[in-house]
Amino acid sequence: MSAVHKVRLMSAAVPMKVHANQYGTVTVLGEGTNDYDVLVNKPRINGVTLVGNKTTEEIGIEEISNMELEDLLNGQI
């Protein structure tokens, strides 16, 4: 006999279904989301969660001048 159960996975706001058959095979089905705000594990850069519009300064990326970039690309740095 198989069973379908609705579960919450890692506090996800997206409904998940777990299906287990008589052979012990388990399938997890989710509806997915197109709403970034409900994601559980949002990406981070330098430890800063990417939520909203972040500047390079806010995520710890230093800006460089065109001359510094040219020097870097030419192997002078």
In DSSP notation, the chain reads: --EEEEE--TT-SS-EEEEE-TT--EEEEE---S-GGG-SS--EETTEE--S---TTTTT-----HHHHHHHHTT--
For the stretch 8-22, pLDDT in tens is 445 455 566 777 888
Please report the pLDDT score of residue 41 as a whole number.
86
pTM for this entry: 0.46
Whether residues 51 and 30 share a domain: the answer is: no
Range of the domain at 18: 1-34
Q: How many domains are contained in the chain?
A: 2
Whether residues 46 and 24 share a domain: the answer is: no
For the stretch 45-65, pLDDT in tens is 999 999 999 999 999 988 889
Please report the pLDDT score of residue 27 as a whole number.
78
